[in-house]
Amino acid sequence: MSDFLQDRRVGIIERAVFVCVLISLACGCIAKAPSATVFSQGRSGKNLQVKDCLPGYIRTKLYIAWDEEKGKLFAELEKGAQKGLPVPLYDAQTHTINLLETAAKCGDVGLLSELSAYVLIPFRYLKVREGIRTWADESGKVADTQSRSQFMYLVARALNMIADIPVGVRTEPMNQLVAVAPEIMYEHYKSWIIERPSFEVTAWKCHGHEKDATKRGRYYYFTHHDFLKYKRARELTAGEGERAFCNAIVDTDMWIVSGLVELVAARERMPDLFKYSPKDRKWMNEYFEVAVGYIEDALVEMKLVDFKGKVVKGVVVEPGIWNEHPEHAYTAYTGAEYPSEKDKAVDPKTSWDISHARRLVHVMGTLYRNHGITGSSFPDDEMMRRLANQYAYGVFDKNLRWPLFYNFIDGTNGWYRVGYAGRKNFGYRPYRLSNAAVTGGYGFWKKYNSDVEKINASLWRMLESDDPKVQEFVKKYYPGSASFRNLALIQFLPVFVKD
């Protein structure tokens, strides 16, 4: 990590003070270290910044939080990447994707440069495994596909944003990311989608299409293209009464397709990013048809009532498909006491929990922006409005003074993940996933529903309040925001960017 990224502290008031830094550089008062040059490019004569893209006070708070937290984030990713651990890859995307979106919308080249340097870190610690350069721990175990695909979506999105920046304005970390990451990422996507069968549901005691699979040990594996094709057709559960979730779409599925879409979109504008042949484009087109169609099939219309009492349309992901999964065993139990065996009860319409559903913000945004890449008109404006409606009227409890959010996007508010991974007394009580509304990026959907902006304002008033009662409320229902405030602000405040 450069001295710039480790040690440079941004002015406490707001980043506008960097005008002073540029003046100092001009008169030779400050040493022109490479890192300072990298930063100054963001405020050069080729100014890309969008004026007033964030409210001033919000902008100040956001940049202070980032400058105070980034050293820790860089160190954690560096340490985890050195050891080949998957969780730091997963967390990197969760923690910074919203900030990345707003940095691009604001044209903040300096911040985009820092984020480029951040996502570059894991690319210094690759090992050759499964025929590709990837991340693996000291024993040689490859990081799980979910963590890798989630991280690579972040990188692909960053590359697509860099493509918007004139070559002469791009910084050293941006150029390094463009030079290093694309080929490695394309290796992953090609391996997953058409070359190396790596996806299975045999571990869930599901079966189907064994003759079309590759058997390794006890499990039957498919390429991601075939995996999605069979799941979309509901063909990976051969017997009546078997688990419906064998065919469920999961977040890894969404990250792989959306990450590849972003990477190809970046390559459309930077043709030297990585090489592929007409034959490669053919399998991509076939894959996009299956994958995007599968996501479209998974979204089911739901009727809602808005703030004014008007009936509107929302949308949820495969309601009821996870009913037989242990994590959903108590979704109909809403009691305050920790549930016992007799409290097991499943709400049949339950969809995704609101923490996992945050994937929809960015995945659907990618598909919406890139119809030309996917060859599909999905999602359209109406679908984006329905997603925003679902958050505003299906998840939010409509109390702007004391905002809370139901545990599941369909409005179910029962217990989730009781005893998860064998943890004693573990489980998410009703409303206890509310912090996902702060950190999940849902506020970006204000573009499609103005009531989302009211929810954003309500959450900000709550987080900023010095009223002891409100602070206790935050500690109870938003413990992540209370305990890790800077990290929460880095994820929440970007949603105030002006569309």
Give the pLDDT score at 47: 47
Residue type, 102: T
DSSP per-residue codes, 293-334: HHHHHHEEEEEEE-TTS-EEEEEEESTTTTTTSGGGTTTT--
Q: Where are the beta strands (DSSP E) in 33-96?
A: none
The reported pLDDT for the residue numbered 332 is 98
Q: Using alpha carbons only, give the angle 84, 362, 251 rounded to the nearest 5 degrees.
A: 55
Structure token digits, residue 455:
């929810």
Residue 281 token pair? 């484009």
Alpha carbons 369 and 23: distance in angstroms, whole number: 39
Backbone φ and ψ for 304, nearest 5 degrees, come out as -135, 170
One-letter amino acid for residue 193 of the chain: I
CA distance 195 to 198: 9
Query: According to the model, what pLDDT value does residue 442 have?
Result: 99
Give me the pLDDT at residue 48, please: 63
- The values of phi and psi at residue 93, to 5°, are -70, -45
Please report the pLDDT score of residue 50 as a whole number.
77
Lookup: tokens for 465: 């309040």
Weakly modelled stretches of the chain, pLDDT under 50: 1-47
Question: Which string of b and e fits 232-247 if b means at least 16 CB within 10 Å?
Answer: beeebbeeeebbbbbb
Say if residues 105 and 53 touch (Cβ distance below 8 Å). Answer: yes
Please give the span between the terminal C-alpha atoms of the chain, in angstroms, as a whole number.
33
- Report the DSSP pairing between strands 132-134 and 214-216: unpaired
| Phi-psi label, residue 140: left if phi above 0, alpha if psi -120 to 50, beta otherwise | left
> Are residues 490 and 58 in contact, defined by beta-carbon separation less than 8 angstroms?
no
- Residue pointed to by tokens 């419906």: 244
Phi, psi of 66 (to 5 degrees): -65, -45
pLDDT value at residue 11:
36
In the beta sheet, which residues pair with residue 249? none
| Number of residues assigned to the chain | 499
Q: Report the predicted TM-score, pTM, of the whole model to 2 decimal places.
A: 0.90
At 243 the pLDDT is 87
